Structure 1
Amino acid sequence: MESLPPCVVFAAGEYYAVDANRANAVEVPHGAFVVAADGGLDHARALGVAPDVVVGDFDSLQGDRPTCGEHTIALPPQKDDPDLLSALKIGWAHGCRTFHIYGALGGRIDHTLSAIRLTALVARHGGIAFLHGDGTIVTAIRDGRLDWPAFDATPGRMVSVFSHTDVSRGVDEPGLKYRLMDGVLDADSVLGLSNEFLPLTPAAVSVREGTLIVTYPAEAPGPKVTLRHAPSGDLGALDTSVSSLLAG
């Protein structure tokens, strides 16, 4: 997975001022595949980033609407898939399995919850997605492990772990302030709330069976990702239909 190009997605939600630790800085790695989802194009333009693909129904775009062409995919306003899911599908089809998503945390809580659930969808297929915003990163890992190297962690900056699946087994949190080893978390448990990195101490969060949602401070180094299963399947084709359950 590390040899594949990452995908950077500009979503239409909240972006935050960069602090002294550059915790909210938008980073586009060299060679990354860039997708702007609807109003995310405004933010990409403001940062001088030219997306490889622009996708959306453009209901949240404030600037000029992109000209339809090979780099623009216009979607109908009524559809099952939100623009962010469409952006992830495009990145996956391009061969990306690691996603860095900006503008998907904060603002509307339903959009935030949807974005978090989409990280679990990516994890279920053997990829990984990181949501960046307000000094925090949110990700999901399924049957795998996140390893952080030692760094000068600031006390009081929280690491939290929740089970997205009904049950997550074999949950380990070595190197954190409150060590959980071979634990079992269920979807209703908040046992993993408000842990912390320890200064100059390597740390990890791992799960033997299940999917975890993990939140951690943005100033932490990027974790090494180890998965027990190779990426499989796909996120599906772009879907512009409206489910019969939702049709008015």
Structure 2
Amino acid sequence: MAHGTDVCVVFAAGEYYPGARIEVPRGAFVVAADGGLDHARALGVVPDVIVGDFDSVRGPVPGVAGESAAAAGGGRVPRTIALPALKDDPDLLSALKVGWAAGGRTFHIHGALGGRIDHTIANIQLLAQVAAHGGIAYLYGDGDVVTAISDGALTFPAGRVVPGRMVSVFSHADESRGVSETGLKYELRDASMRNTQVVGVSNEFLAGVEARIAVADGTLTVTFPQEAGEPLVERFHAFHGDLGPLDTEVSPLLNAAAR
């Protein structure tokens, strides 16, 4: 990654909450997904890349419809990737692919929770896609964070969260094995969870205790309060592959259905 870090910040086009803490770490690679450009611009952030079909952006897009690069502000020229409206990938996945290709493996995504429920569900699924390739992504909402971990563990240091604040764990995989939750009010050790069961909701942080959530084989979706901070991520084996190339067309099956 040109910025010397594996951190990528993505501005999506969805809900942004009053008073939300949005941080762009120094040196992070920044991608604006379609209407996320409006939110980045409002915060005074100039993205490294702007990507999308630009059906939700309201302000000018550098390099699109005759707009000059200076429209981005700040004097820096972002790269603009214009995609067709008819394609399989949502704009957020395109943004993640751009970030991954630039070296990003830790993604902080704003504007991807709330609003349309179908978009929220899709964005949570994207967390699992990133986790399955050894990365980690965080969706920030109204004081809460959603992430996913595959064959690994998340450790939250003690003392960051008021005791009683909730953390919930769900199996994204059909079955997740070797699930452990330690340092929380309700503990699990070497359990199995299925994506048709709800057994990990509304656990609680404890005072002065480090909390750890682990899965030996499978993928977990985890929600936690933003004040818990970014957990320490442990992976139990090497991961391979990537998120794939940018998608620019509709798959043949969907094309056949459209006809």
Which of the five TM-score ranges fits, normalised by the shorter chain?
over 0.9
Structure 2 residue 50 is matched with structure 1 residue 54 = yes
AA aligned opposite 1:50: V
Maintained 8 Å contact 1:151/1:221:
no
Contact 1:9–1:99 at 8 Å: present in 2 too?
Answer: yes
SS in 2 for 1:116: helix
Does the 8 Å contact 2:40/2:47 carry over to 1? yes
Q: Assess if the C-alpha contact under 8 Å between 1:143 and 1:208 holds in 2.
A: yes
* 3-state DSSP of counterpart to 1:222: coil
**Distance between the aligned counterparts of 1:119 and 1:241, measured in 2?**
23
Structure-2 separation of matches of 1:245 and 1:215? 34
Query: What residue in structure 2 maps to residue 228 of structure 1?
Result: 236
Q: Is the 8 A contact 1:153 1:200 kept in 2?
A: no
Conserved in 1, the CA contact under 8 Å of 2:164 and 2:206? Answer: no
**Is residue 5 from structure 1 mapped to residue 6 from structure 2 by the alignment?**
yes
Distance in 2 (CA, whole Å) between partners of 1:151 and 1:112 is 30
CA deviation map 1:77-131 (0-9, x unaligned): 1110000000000011011111000000000000000000000000000110011
Q: What is the SS of the residue equivalent to 1:189? A: coil
Q: Would you say 1:30 and 2:31 are equivalent positions?
A: no
1:176-187 alignment to 2 at 5 Å?
176-187=184-195
1:76, distance to aligned residue in structure 2 (A): 0.7
Which protein has the larger Cα radius of gyration, Structure 1 or Structure 2?
2
Counterpart for residue 75 of structure 2: none
2:107 maps to a residue whose letter is: F
2:153 corresponds to which residue?
A: 145
Secondary structure of 1:210 counterpart: strand
Q: Name the residue aligned to 2:16.
A: 15
> Which runs of 5 or more structure 2 residues have no equivalent in the other structure?
70-77
1:175 has 2:183 as partner:
yes
Identical-pair percentage = 64
* Residue correspondences, number: 241
Alignment of 1:7-156 (within 5 A): 7-18=8-19, 24-68=20-64, 71-156=79-164
d(CA) in 2 for partners of 1:27, 1:228: 29
Structure 1 pair 152/224, CA: closer, same or farther in 2 (3 Å)?
closer
Q: Which amino acid aligns with 2:13?
A: A
CA contact (8 A) 1:136 1:215 kept: yes
Q: Amino acid of the residue matched to residue 125 of structure 1? A: H
Are the counterparts in 2 of residues 152 and 199 from structure 1 also a CA contact under 8 Å?
no
Q: Is the 8 A contact 2:170 2:201 kept in 1?
A: yes
Asked if the contact 2:112–2:120 (Cα under 8 Å) also holds between the matched residues in 1, the reply is yes
Question: Given that residues 152 and 234 in structure 2 are in contact (C-alpha distance below 8 angstroms), is that contact kept between their aligned partners in structure 1?
Answer: yes
Separation in structure 1 between the aligned mates of residue 95 and residue 5 of structure 2, nearest angstrom: 17
Q: What is the Cα deviation at residue 155 of structure 1? A: 4.3
Provide the residue aligned with 1:21 in structure 2.
none
RMSD: 1.3
1:231 Cα deviation after fit = 3.6
Measure, in 1, the Cα distance between the counterparts of 2:254 and 2:212: 41
DSSP-derived class of the 2:189 partner: coil
SS of equivalent to 2:216: coil
Contact 1:5 1:31 in 2 (8 A): no
Secondary structure of the residue aligned to 1:173 is strand
| Rounded Cα–Cα distance in structure 1 between residues aligned with 2:251 and 2:164 | 44
The verdict on how the C-alpha distance between 1:152 and 1:94 changes in structure 2, with shifts beyond 3 A counting, is closer
Structure-2 separation of matches of 1:159 and 1:124: 22
More helix by share: 2
The 8 Å contact of residues 94 and 246 in structure 2, kept in 1 or not, is answered as yes
